[in-house]
Chain A
Amino acid sequence: MVDHGAALLLLADGRFPAGGYAHSGGLEPTIAAGRVHDLATLEAFLQGRALTAGAVAAGFAAAACGTLSDEDGKRFIALDAELDARMPSPAQRTTSRQLGRQLLRAVGAIRPDPRLEHVGARPHQPIGLGAAVAVFGLGRRDAAWVALHESVAGPAAAAVRLLSLDPFSTHAALARLGPLLDELAGSAVAASHGELDDLPAGGAPLLDIAAEDHAVRHTRLFAS
């Protein structure tokens, strides 16, 4: 098997020009609501996010990765509908499609591939991510890893700015989440081979509620 480690690092890098840096993954409104205020509450937030939104994103990224390799356009439509059904918040659906479009544009310029046509113009971010991972010759587990890494690394970086937390302690919290992310990546890959209805569907009511609070707030630093 060819080793594609460099490509994996490129895609997982926060400097990849796909616009993710403008988002806090619901952390900013959660801080505004007083639920996250220090390192301990941040770490709990990241753990909860990984187990819900992160696991869902990982399952769909892994499934989309396999789908692009199979060049199955109909399955992309089915995946899109399944992920829509897992995102009750319209603000989150909009954000996810914006990020997916930006990611696809970046990947189309960086690594053009005719198979990206199957994905559609405004995919949800995890579906665009899974397709991008496949274009770079990587597999389902890589797609799940990148999705899970993004689900916590983005909010952690935002926390350093929003709460003036020490970057060393924040990254220590991320490091402690490593074994959980690895375990969730394994479950995501397993689920991506099964029925669509059984893809991860962990809900996070407080994230859904925070997303709607944030969408109408004028004094925000991050887009979500």
Chain B
Amino acid sequence: MTVDEISVGSPAASADGGRPVPQQVSGMRAQARVATELRTSPGGRQRSCVSTLRSQAPLALRLTRAKAREPWAAHAADIARVSLAAGAGGPVGGDQLILRVEVGPGSSLVLSEISPTLLLPGPRGERSATHVRIQVAAGATLIWLPEPIIAARGCDHVHNVVVDLDEGARLFMREELLLGRHGEETGRVTQRVSVRHGGRPLYRQDIGIGTAGADTPAVIGHHRAVGSALIVDPSWLSDPPSARALPGDAALLPLSGPAALITASAGDNLELRAQLHAGLTALGPPWDPGR
């Protein structure tokens, strides 16, 4: 499913259309979009520039600066940095949010997030949904660092991520799901991820929390946090990383293609971050985040 096929309250409102999306009685509907391109200055210097930055409440996209060390950026052309702030809290049941990201040929984008997402139930038990549609062109790099998604008791949410990578694109994508706030029973989230590389399927996975079978010893057991980091690096076509078990319930898994998944289940978000960090360290440069 692409964003263009997602109904957002009006049949005429496509993610590309740019027209305001009508507010519906049941929940908020919003679309935000960011696009980057590589520009060359008269002096011949190349820079990644944000060519489109469109926000719609509660999704606010802002230009930002480097926050942390960025080891992966060593060889990238000047990087564009954008952060997402979800202003109103939520999404709550009934909300439909769409984020569209296009990283143009040769450009680099670091997309971060200001705060975690707290999923809340709607007034009438409706489902909420977030759709993220990402395209990364050849020679381009997307580093996507969303903050954790917290499933508050009673929430019912679909988180749908579709990524299309051209051959030669690079990607870092982190996903963290927390099963409720401290001591809270978890709500229900289905996270659907579909990543294609050069038109071929590279990674396709649905992870549920609070869904049938999720709390069994085959899936996530009694862990309170589950997450992954997916890294796509064209240099792995010739020299792929090797699989290894990581401390705790985590592993580094080379995929069938120039990509690796760090998968982890943990007692809390701190432990989860530490496991993902250990996986990146195991990958070595340029993905090793250092101390």
Q: Which chain A residues have a beta carbon within 8 Å of chain B's beta carbons?
A: 26, 30, 33, 35-36, 41, 44-53, 81-82, 84-91, 93, 196-197, 200-209, 212-213, 215-216
Contacts and interface: CB of A to CB of B under 8 A. Distances in A.
Interface in B201-228: 201-208, 212-221, 226, 228
B181 interface: no
Nearest to B208: A202
Interface in B224-273: 226, 228, 243-245, 249-251, 253-257, 261, 263-265
Contacts of A86: 204-205
A45 B261 CA distance: 23
A208 B201 contact: no
A40 B20 CA distance: 53
Interface of B: 1, 192, 194-195, 200-208, 212-221, 226, 228, 243-245, 249-251, 253-257, 261, 263-265
Contact of B217 (A36, A91, A93, A201): A36
Contacts of B214: 48
Nearest 4 CB-CB pairings of A with B = A48-B216, A48-B218, A51-B213, A35-B217
B254 A81 contact: no
Given A85-B256, A90-B243, A203-B206, A44 B217 contact: yes
A82 B200 CA distance: 8
Contact of A85 (B202, B228, B249): B202
A89 B205 CA distance: 12
Contacts of B204: 82, 85-86, 197, 201
B229 to A, nearest CB: 12
Contact of B206 (A36, A44, A93, A202): A202
A206 B208 CA distance: 13
Contacts of A201: 192, 204-206
Contact of A209 (B201, B216, B265): B265
A208 B194 CA distance: 18
B89 to A, nearest CB: 28
Nearest to B207: A203
A81 B218 contact: no
Contacts of B251: 89, 208-209, 212-213
A209 B203 contact: no
B243 A209 contact: no
A206 B253 contact: no
Given A82-B201, A203-B207, 10 more contacts: A51-B219, A84-B255, A85-B201, A90-B253, A196-B201, A205-B219, A205-B220, A206-B217, A212-B251, A213-B245
Contacts of A45: 216-218
Contacts of B228: 205
A106 to B, nearest CB: 25
A26 B208 contact: no
